[in-house]
A and B are shown apart, each in its own frame.
Chain A
Amino acid sequence: MTDFNRVIRYLAYTLELLVLFMLQETPGLMPAIFGSRPLMVLPAAVTIALFEPELTAMAFGVLGGLFLDFGFSCPMGFHALILAVLCFFVSTIVKVYLQVNFVTAMITGLWTTAVVVASIWLFLYYFPGYSMPGYAVLHRYLPEYFYTLLFFPLTFLLNKALYQALKQQE
């Protein structure tokens, strides 16, 4: 029974990541704010990490990251690597130092999103040598950062509900 519930929960997480990836990629679905749209897969992967053990968190980080890699024209594995490490450490930190609640989820969202968006800017914009990196930060990456943060409460509540619904029966 325990294994069955866990399998169902993991399938639900996988489906959640896939659906959010499609919503994120679908042209015209999410309105652009200052020309930017949110990375909806990122909040989902990070909030899953808040509830799951570190290796499971890392696995879903890799999956979410691979979706992001596939959507973006960058080498496969870039986002997967960042999200794998981030989700692993988020899960570890939460287990050792923090309680899982709304406030810690938002604080985690603040720094993890900053790490991901800064990495995208650094490795996929600044290092390749595109012009006007400062303009890119102000006009594209900062709006994307704040827009992505808006999805943390939603994904936190969704994953909390999923975890509790399928955990209680274990």
Chain B
Amino acid sequence: MKDFFKTSSFKVLMITVVVLLGLIIYTASAGGSFLANILGFVSSPMQSIATETTDGVQSFVNLDGFSKEELKDMITSLQEENAILREGQVKLRDLEQENEQLKEQLKIQEAVPDTEMLSASVIGRDPSDVFFGFSINKGTLSGISVGDPVITKQGLVGLVTQAYATTSKVTCILSEEVPVGAICKKEGGYSESGVVTSNIQTAASGLLRMEYLSNETKIEPGDIIVTSGSASIYPENLIIGEVQSVEKSENDISHYAVIKPYEDIKNVKEVHVILNFPGKGEETPEETTSGVDSQDPEDAEAVK
């Protein structure tokens, strides 16, 4: 055993450990790394193909709702379509996808004007991420930077937390790491603000919690929660979800609302990254709202 520590193999192991510790410290402090960019260049095209193939197979297998006749018609029409499209299949698929993404982007831009957006596809979900974060197929070369909000036409999905050359990591709003300043606007100009966050238990159910509501809160099931835009991290009025219930907090006298996002965040496949929006990164004066606004969402909204 004594000799084992003197072997050249053990010395190489120690050198490797020191180098990897250095890499951990470097990437923890500096963010991205050259190594991650290289891995992204290698893996992202293959991940895109694997994801597209899986989606195709899943939609092919999911035929439970069709009758035999409908299936026969479908096969016939698909064979005809296949014969026509075979020549330009690959190119056409790309163009169709781009077209759909742009259409969706246009719809969102009508709802959220003056924003600069980029469409992206989800290419990876890590099994160890308990908050359902994912990778997208666009990175810094496409203009994405850390802190860009990620949305779909159904509403807010998350925030870019790591940006490499060709891929980016998105942390979902289901994560504890991404609290969002939120507001509930009701009839008569009444509004009430709070912080939307989550924990592992609510994230597993795909739900969110709007914290710091007063015990006299007027928020009720069915109300729609949107971003307040108070910390200039997200644009104003992005839909977050719908209130399911209002409950008393376990820790203090405040209440919290359980929110169901309109988007199925755990299985989202196509997203849009907001590269720029009016007021991005600017400090804004504290909003005046009725209800309990004693907690400043700006502080809480800053990403840990």
Residues of A within 8 A of B55 (CB): 28
Residues of A within 8 A of B135 (CB): 25, 71
Contact residues of A: prevailing secondary structure: helix
Closest CB in chain A relative to B146 CB, distance in Å: 11
Residues of A within 8 A of B134 (CB): 27
Which of A28, A36, A54, A70 sits near B58, CB closer than 8 Å? A28
Which of A55, A92, A120, A131 sits near B176, CB closer than 8 Å? A131
Which range contains the number of A residues in contact with the other chain? 35 or more
A53: nearest chain-B partner, CB-CB = B9
Contact B43 A18 (CB under 8 A): yes
Q: Taking the complex as formed, is B23 at the interface, i.e. its CB lies under 8 A from any CB of chain A?
A: yes
Closest CB in chain A relative to B285 CB, distance in Å: 31
How far is it, in angstroms, between the C-alpha of A130 and the C-alpha of B215 when the chains are bound? 26
Contact B128 A72 (CB under 8 A): yes
Closest CB in chain B relative to A74 CB, distance in Å: 8
Q: Which residues of B from 1 to 60 have beta carbons under 8 Å from A?
A: 4, 9, 12-13, 16-17, 20-25, 27-28, 33, 35-36, 39-40, 42-43, 46-47, 50-51, 54-55, 58
Q: Taking the complex as formed, is A125 at the interface, i.e. its CB lies under 8 A from any CB of chain B?
A: yes
Number of residues of chain B lying within 8 A (CB) of chain A: 51
* Chain-A contact segment, one of B66-74, B199-207, B223-231: B199-207
Q: Which residues of A from 111 to 144 have beta carbons under 8 Å from B?
A: 120, 124-125, 130-132, 135-136, 139-140, 144
Contact A26 B50 (CB under 8 A): yes
Q: Taking the complex as formed, is A81 at the interface, i.e. its CB lies under 8 A from any CB of chain B?
A: yes
* Chain-A contact segment, one of B81-89, B119-127, B179-187, B288-296: B119-127
Q: Taking the complex as formed, is B171 at the interface, i.e. its CB lies under 8 A from any CB of chain A?
A: yes
How far is it, in angstroms, between the C-alpha of A16 and the C-alpha of B127 when the chains are bound? 18
Residues of A within 8 A of B130 (CB): 125, 136, 140
How far is it, in angstroms, between the C-alpha of A39 and the C-alpha of B169 when the chains are bound? 18
How far is it, in angstroms, between the C-alpha of A25 and the C-alpha of B9 when the chains are bound? 33
Closest CB in chain B relative to A24 CB, distance in Å: 6
Q: A75-B24, A76-B35 in contact; A26/B124 too (CB < 8 A)?
A: yes
Which of B35, B54, B161, B204 sits near A73, CB closer than 8 Å? B161
Residues of B within 8 A of A88 (CB): 9, 13
Residues of B within 8 A of A30 (CB): 127
Give 1 or 0 for each of A57-97: 1 = CB within 8 Å of chain B CB: 01000100011111111011110110011001000100000
Q: Taking the complex as formed, is B269 at the interface, i.e. its CB lies under 8 A from any CB of chain A?
A: yes
Which of A62, A73, A75, A78 sits near B16, CB closer than 8 Å? A62
A67: nearest chain-B partner, CB-CB = B39
Residues of B within 8 A of A58 (CB): 12-13, 16
Which of B54, B128, B204 sits near A27, CB closer than 8 Å? B54
How far is it, in angstroms, between the C-alpha of A6 and the C-alpha of B229 when the chains are bound? 58
Residues of A within 8 A of B36 (CB): 69-70, 76
Contact B267 A27 (CB under 8 A): yes
Which of A18, A27, A75 sits near B46, CB closer than 8 Å? A18
Closest CB in chain B relative to A52 CB, distance in Å: 12
Residues of A within 8 A of B12 (CB): 55, 58
Closest CB in chain B relative to A58 CB, distance in Å: 6
How far is it, in angstroms, between the C-alpha of A26 and the C-alpha of B36 when the chains are bound? 18
Using A75-B27, A77-B22, A92-B9 as known contacts, list a sample of 9 further A-B pairs with CB atoms less than 8 Å apart, ordered by residue number in A.
A18-B42, A25-B47, A27-B54, A27-B124, A76-B23, A76-B36, A81-B24, A124-B128, A139-B201
- Can you list 27 A-B pairs, Cβ within 8 angstroms, ordered by A? A18-B43, A22-B47, A24-B127, A25-B50, A25-B126, A27-B51, A27-B134, A27-B269, A30-B127, A39-B128, A54-B9, A54-B13, A55-B12, A55-B13, A62-B16, A66-B39, A67-B39, A67-B43, A72-B126, A75-B25, A75-B27, A76-B24, A77-B20, A85-B13, A131-B176, A135-B201, A136-B200
